[in-house]
Amino acid sequence: MILLRHGQSEFNLHFGATRRDPGIVDPRLTELGHEQAQEAAQQLAEAGIRRIIASPYTRALQTARPIAAALGMAVTVDPLVRERYAYACDIGTPRSVLERDWPQHDFSPIPEVWWPPEEEPEASIMDRAARFRRDLAQRDDWAHTLVVSHWGFILSLTGQSVANGQWLRCDPAEEPPERVIWRA
């Protein structure tokens, strides 16, 4: 699979400068974030992608949009690949609002409130990543699947920290990391 971290968000911009939570709920991409998404679309145009899975957070949906448009593909929205709930940016947008704002996507399998009510323990995101890895490894199209996700989820899957707009390949059949270092 190909794992792509969403482009720079409003949260990333402010948090990167201050190391403090700026209190932005479900932030949108910055201008740089949109440029990163476009660049990823160009880089991945010939990657053989047959399926796109994206987190329901706005920043991930905005990052997936130019790739899906370039490839003429639908995006499967899956909260399993969401970020670890730890900051204000990890409060999502209710399903009904996502359905209104993103009518091209099917949000029907997602509950109205799809993010957890409180900070998610590290063990929880590691378990979620392991479950996703197992499920994807069972599919015959895993090598042609793009997952647009987040720093913490990708770290949990691979043990690697990736920058905004960066992507990497991952074989879901490989052993997951036993331990990750949770530093952004």
Domain ranges of the chain: 2-169
pLDDT band of residue 23 (cuts 50, 70, 90) is: very high
Express each pLDDT in 28-55 by its tens digit. 999 999 999 999 999 999 999 999 999 9
Residue 183 has pLDDT above 90, yes or no: no
75 forms beta bridges with: 52
> In this structure, which CATH number among 3.40.50.1240, 1.10.10.10, 3.30.930.10, 3.40.30.10 belongs to the domain 2-169?
3.40.50.1240
Give 176: exposed, middle or buried? Use CB within 10 Å, 0-12, 13-18, 19+: middle
Express each pLDDT in 142-152 by its tens digit. 999 999 999 99
53 forms beta bridges with: 76, 147
Express each pLDDT in 113-160 by its tens digit. 999 999 999 999 999 999 999 999 999 999 999 999 999 999 999 999
pLDDT band of residue 182 (cuts 50, 70, 90) is: low
Which pLDDT belongs to residue 177? Answer: 72
pTM of the predicted model as reported, rounded to 2 decimal places:
0.95
